[in-house]
Structure formats: C-alpha cells, structure tokens
Chains A and B, each alone.
Chain A
Amino acid sequence: MSSATTTANAVAATRRRHTRSLASQRRWALYGSYAALVVFVIMFLIPPFYTVMTSLKTSAEISAQSGNPWFAHNPTLSNFIELIEMPDFQYFFMNSVMITVVTVVVSMVISVMAAFSLARMGFWGSSTLATGVFLTYLVPASLLFIPLFQILGFLGLINNVWCLALVYPTLAVPFCTWIMIGYFSSIPKELDEAALIDGAGYVQMLLKIFIPVAMPGIIAATIFAFTVSWGAFLYPMAYLYSMDQMVLTVGIISDLVRGDVFQWGKIMAASVLAAAPPVIIYAFLMDYYIAGLTSGATKG
C-alpha cells in the first residue's frame, strides 16, 4: 500500500477521534447544564410550592406536628375567603394596583419619549445626557429614601399612598429609558427617513413606527416598572403607616403579624394573591417579549 493511503487513514482516524471527543464534550456539557438547571428549579420552586400548600391549610393543620407538612391533607379556601373579606386587605390590594398602574403608565410615557429623543433627535449634549440617565440608575435606592422622605414631608405626602406614585417613577424611569434607548438605537436609521419622506412627523414616527417595532423593549421596560412598583418594600415601609394607605408588600407583614402571632395561613394566602398579578402578566407578555419584531425591516 502506498504511503498516501496510510496518511489518509491516519487523517480519518484523527478526525473520528476528534468528532467523538466533540460529541462527548457536548454530552457532558448537557449533563452539567441539566444538573444545574434541576438544582435551580428545585430551589426556586420549593418556596412557592410550600406557600401554596400552607395557604390551603387550616391553622390547626399548620401547627400540627404530625403528618407530612408538604401536602395539605384537608385543603380549604377559608384563608382566602377570610382574607378577601378583610377591609385592610382590600385597601392593600387596591392601593398596590392603583400605584402600580400609575407608575407603569407614567414611567413608560416618560421613558419612551425620553429615549426617542435621546436616541434619535441627536440634539446638543444628547449622548452625555443618555449616559447621565444611566448613571442615575446606579444610585442605590437605599441611599435615596431619606432625602426623598424630606421632599415628601415638604409636600405633605407622608402617609399618603400617592407619594409612591411620585417616588416609583423616579426609580423606574432611568432604567426604562436606558432599555428603550438600546431598542430604539437598534432600529435602522433608514426607517425614520422612510417615515419622514412618507410624511410622518416625529410624533407619528414614534407612535406608528418606533413603538410597534420596539415592542419587545417596551414590554421588558413595562415588566421592570411593574416589578419596581409592585414589589417595593422599603419605601412604603418608610413613608406609610395607616392601614388604609398601605400597599400589599408591607401591609401583609404588618397586619397579619401581631407581636409574635404569625397568622401563617393568611400570610401565605395573601402572598399567593399578591404574586398572582405579576405571574399572570409575565405569562401573558412573555410571548410578545420573545417574538423578535425587527426582522425583515432591512435586507436581513
């Protein structure tokens, strides 16, 4: 046999070995990622699971030492019913919803318009301003609440739930603006120019082109603003004290924990109810969020 064949065989062998090792590397990488994912899924799902289970138990069952604590043996909705009938809980819920809706709307209107002008209008100092907006976001919220307390005190808004509608947008707007600048900047310049030539002004360009095309970004920013408002703990804790002005996060803790008496069943039921809106909204918006909308604008 010629030496050429030998070489060819050797090359083929090397290639085979190489492929095998690639395939096995890939397999091990998969094993590793699945293992990590399983650990994380368990870690993240156990608390909500336990919350739901506990919310379905009677106080007697919760305090009972016997039986498997992971399952509700005589599931009941009594915690939920009692909770919904509590006037305080109704206040909390309504206040949370109100403040969150206002926060999301105000934050999105401000940040979309700010991002559009910063990303597209290119006025003097616009890029510096864009950096400035992001730097604002880097200031920790826990540093801000004392100065904000003074401002709200000056405005006479302490212990008024609407003070949150003033405070939350200041937290949400910088980050939302920053997200939106990123999305708007990724829209090809020719799209504006086509719209300009087609007869659109800046407002129409924003409403008819930019907002629909940047919908994934709008949804991401909306979710962020929603989370800031719905989940905030520090600010309502610091600024509100009467029950009719309270929101869910702080209200649940302060109303259902009296001294060292924890009404576990109701606390858990309240948590389930408080967690429901974000879960529903995320599930609903995720589809839009994932679907990329920019493809097909240009040659792509």
Chain B
Amino acid sequence: MSQVSIRKVVKSYDGDVQAVKGIDLEIEDHEFVVLVGPSGCGKSTTLRMVAGLEEITDGEIWIGGDIVNDVPPRDRDIAMVFQNYALYPHMSVFDNMAFGLKLRKVPKPEIKQRVDEAARILDIGELLDRKPKALSGGQRQRVAMGRAIVRHPKVFLFDEPLSNLDAKLRVQMRTEIKKVHQTVNTTTVYVTHDQVEAMTLADRVVVMNQGVIEQVGPPQELYHNPGTRFVAGFIGSPAMNFLPCRVQNGAGGLTVRVGDSMVLPVPPARKERYASFKDREMILGLRPEHLYEYHDDSKPGVARVEAPADVVEPMGMETMVHFFVNGIPVCARVDPATHAVPGETLPLSADLNHMHLIEPETGRVV
C-alpha cells in the first residue's frame, strides 16, 4: 500500500508565481516514476511537496491511502536522496545511515542488521567507519542511498541524485539505482533533467514543462508516440527534426510539402488521420534514425531526399550527418560505412512511417 497520488496540486511562491500549475499523477505501488523536464519546470517543487518540505498551495497529496497535506515530513514515511548528498559531516557512514533509525527508537541490534544489509546491497561495507569527507563522490552517493534504504520507507524520493557525478560514474550509479530498486522494490519518484536517465530508469516517465505535466507514459511509448511537440523534442538524442510543412494533395494521394523542393508521400496508414489537416501550415517531426542512407527498396512511405552534408560526425556505431533544409538544421543518422563528405550531396531515405505531424498553434501531435 504505497501508492502516491498527486491530485490537482498547485504550488505558488509568494502568491503570484506558479511553479506547479495543478498537476495530477497516480503512482502505483512498487513503481519507478521519473519526473523529467528542463531546469525550472517544477520537478523539484513537486517532489518536495511529496516529501513535505514544501507546503502545498492547493490540491491533495496521498501516500499509501492517507492524505498527507498537513503531515510533517518525518511522519510521511518517505526517504529522500538529495543532489548534494546532504550527509551529516560529523557522523561516520554507519551513524549517517543509523540516524533516522535511532530517532525512531529502533532497537540497536536491528539498526545494525539493517545498516549491514544496506551496506551489502550498496557494497559500502568497508566504509562504515569513515567520515563523509574521506569518501569519493560516488561513495557519498551510495551512503546517501543507504540512508534511504535502511529506513524501509513507503516511498523513495530522489532529486537529481547523479548530477554531481562525472559522466562515467553517472552511468554506473544509474545501473546501481536500478539494481537497488529491483532488490528492495520500493515505490520511487525520481527527478532528473536528463532524458537518458529518465528513459533508462523509469517504469513510467512524467515529462514536465513550465509547471504542467506534458505527458505520462512508459519510456518507449513517449519515444514513439509523443503527445506534444515539447515531448517529441525533449525525449530522444539527438533531438527530433522539426520542419514547417504543408499537407497537400499530390501525385499518388496526400503528400507533405517541405518548402518548394521537397515533397514527401504520406504513408497509406496515416492518410485518413492527416486528411483533415489538408492545406494547413503544420510541422513535420522526424527522428534522425528515420532519416538514413538511401536504399532502393521502395517501401511504402519511404521517400528519397537529397541534401548537401554540412557537418559529418562519425560516432563509431553510427554517423551523424547534419544539413540544412530551407535554412533549418536537420540531422540524419547513417550507417558508418556510408560515404558522407561535407559539401557533397548525400542521398537519404526518409521513413515517413515514423513521422509526426504537429499542429503549430497548440503543439499537439496529431
């Protein structure tokens, strides 16, 4: 019974600025939910309201079947891991982890047993006598997680726990966090601005923007079926290409016309869906991996386009080719064996079966 419900929650600072503008979110027991969004979108504020560190201006928050709006943090049965770890500098690693249990008058032998168990999960058994200042960043991060684990709380809250680590350690700790969750299986709300972290960790990703939830869904779902232009552009790296376009009737049915030169056929499966947007200014969204080196296999919905390469970035497994269409930068992901040279025209296949059509006024993906 450790679901978290966020119902029509609003947070305004000083009465006027709304940091969170009425969000709804149901988090299941044992679920790992990641709040992701650009800096300042209200992720931390949301998390801190769940923790009880920030008052809720309006709405309700429920944890495990109880409304907690007026419950202080210590009685919410949650544990939080902070971006800067917030270890108690004067206490040993053991005491850092045991502090919350001591305050709750857990018997000594049980404290020891729980700390040892957490230390084993996190592989910090040898560090228990050290002070935080004698630990590396990654070790401090583990201790901070250990402090949360020993409490056996209803909910884990993480606020950008990996942003202070270097890139390599971040990937390693990411796996670690996933492993810990698989071991202890506690309901988790995790905040990050890094969409890769969100995709890799989450059962469900919550994309936030300017104080509202843009979309909620499993990572693959958000990736393949973004609901808004914001989500389409935020999830995925390199980001989705966006080109202003016009849906028109052309030879062989409905087409998407980009500028004057490029006319692309709408795949048969989408024709009905897009028919009502005929003759309107729209935005075409296409991920770089759906723009690849030309194959002459005339699959339906795949069109040949040509563009002079501007920058070529070999990455090993793949090569990114950047070019311009009507002055708008576009990125294609091609096989590394492709002969791509800056300045030379490169034939590409655009797989419109994966296209997204976006209404510019609302940002809605149609």
By a beta-carbon cutoff of 8 Å, the part of chain A in contact with chain B is: 188, 190-191, 193-201, 204, 208-209, 212-213, 215, 293-300
Contacts of B79 in A (CB 8 A): 197
A209 to B74, CA, bound (A): 16
Interface string of B28-57 (1 = CB under 8 A from A): 000000000000000000000001110000
Q: How far is the CB of B49 from chain A (nearest CB, A)?
A: 13
A294 to B103, CA, bound (A): 22
A208 to B164, CA, bound (A): 27
Q: Give how many A-B residue pairs fall within 8 Å (CB-CB).
A: 87
Contacts of B86 in A (CB 8 A): 188, 190-191, 193-194, 297-298
B82 at the interface (CB under 8 A from A): yes
Q: Is A296 a contact partner of B87 (Cβ separation < 8 A)?
A: yes
Chain B: CB-nearest residue to A189: B86
Contacts of A190 in B (CB 8 A): 82-84, 86
One of A193, A199, A201, A296 near B89 (C-beta < 8 A): A296
Q: Counting chain B CB atoms within 10 Å of each CB, which of A194, A195, A295 scores highest?
A: A194
Query: Given A197-B51, A198-B74, does the pair A297, B82 have CB atoms closer than 8 Å?
Result: no
Contacts of A195 in B (CB 8 A): 88, 99
Q: Is B80 a contact partner of A197 (Cβ separation < 8 A)?
A: yes
Interface of chain B residues 95 through 116 with chain A (CB within 8 A): 99-100, 103-104
A300 to B80, CA, bound (A): 20
Q: Is A199 a contact partner of B53 (Cβ separation < 8 A)?
A: no
Contacts of B84 in A (CB 8 A): 188, 190, 298-299
With A195-B99, A208-B99, A297-B86 already in contact, 7 other A-B pairs whose C-beta atoms are closer than 8 Å: A194-B80, A196-B52, A199-B74, A209-B88, A215-B90, A293-B90, A296-B135
B202 at the interface (CB under 8 A from A): no
Interface-facing stretch out of B5-13, B126-134, B250-258, B306-314: B126-134
Q: Counting chain A CB atoms within 10 Å of each CB, which of B52, B80, B85, B100 scores highest?
A: B85
B147 at the interface (CB under 8 A from A): yes
Contacts of B140 in A (CB 8 A): 296, 299
Q: Is A204 a contact partner of B103 (Cβ separation < 8 A)?
A: yes
Query: Given A191-B86, A200-B103, does the pair A299, B72 have CB atoms closer than 8 Å?
Result: no
B78 at the interface (CB under 8 A from A): yes
List 10 A-B pairs, minimum CB-CB distance, nearest first: A296-B133, A198-B100, A190-B86, A296-B132, A298-B84, A297-B89, A199-B103, A199-B74, A194-B86, A212-B90
By a beta-carbon cutoff of 8 Å, the part of chain B in contact with chain A is: 51-53, 72-74, 78-80, 82-90, 99-100, 103-104, 131-135, 137, 140, 147, 151, 164
Chain B: CB-nearest residue to A190: B86
Contacts of B82 in A (CB 8 A): 190, 193-194
Chain A: CB-nearest residue to B98: A198
A106 to B304, CA, bound (A): 85
A70 to B131, CA, bound (A): 51
Q: Is A197 a contact partner of B85 (Cβ separation < 8 A)?
A: no
Query: Given A188-B84, A193-B86, A198-B147, does the pair A299, B137 have CB atoms closer than 8 Å?
Result: yes
A48 to B280, CA, bound (A): 94
One of B83, B99, B131, B133 near A300 (C-beta < 8 A): B133
Q: Is B72 a contact partner of A298 (Cβ separation < 8 A)?
A: no
Contacts of A212 in B (CB 8 A): 90
Q: How far is the CB of A123 from chain B (nearest CB, A)?
A: 15
A297 to B53, CA, bound (A): 19
A293 to B91, CA, bound (A): 10
A190 to B79, CA, bound (A): 13
Query: Given A198-B103, A296-B134, A296-B135, does the pair A213, B74 have CB atoms closer than 8 Å?
Result: no
Chain B: CB-nearest residue to A208: B99
A221 to B246, CA, bound (A): 73
A208 to B98, CA, bound (A): 13
Q: Is B104 a contact partner of A199 (Cβ separation < 8 A)?
A: yes
Chain B: CB-nearest residue to A294: B89
A198 to B73, CA, bound (A): 8
Q: Is B131 a contact partner of A197 (Cβ separation < 8 A)?
A: no
One of B51, B88, B103 near A191 (C-beta < 8 A): B88
Q: How far is the CB of B28 from chain A (nearest CB, A)?
A: 22
Chain A: CB-nearest residue to B95: A208
Q: Counting chain A CB atoms within 10 Å of each CB, which of B88, B132, B135 scores highest?
A: B88
Chain B: CB-nearest residue to A187: B89
Chain A: CB-nearest residue to B91: A212
Contacts of A193 in B (CB 8 A): 51, 53, 73, 80, 82, 86
Contacts of B135 in A (CB 8 A): 296
Q: Is A297 a contact partner of B74 (Cβ separation < 8 A)?
A: no
Chain A: CB-nearest residue to B104: A199
Chain B: CB-nearest residue to A212: B90
Contacts of A213 in B (CB 8 A): 88-90
A201 to B104, CA, bound (A): 11
Contacts of A299 in B (CB 8 A): 84-85, 137, 140, 164
Contacts of B52 in A (CB 8 A): 196-197
Q: Is A197 a contact partner of B74 (Cβ separation < 8 A)?
A: yes
One of B78, B132, B134, B137 near A197 (C-beta < 8 A): B78
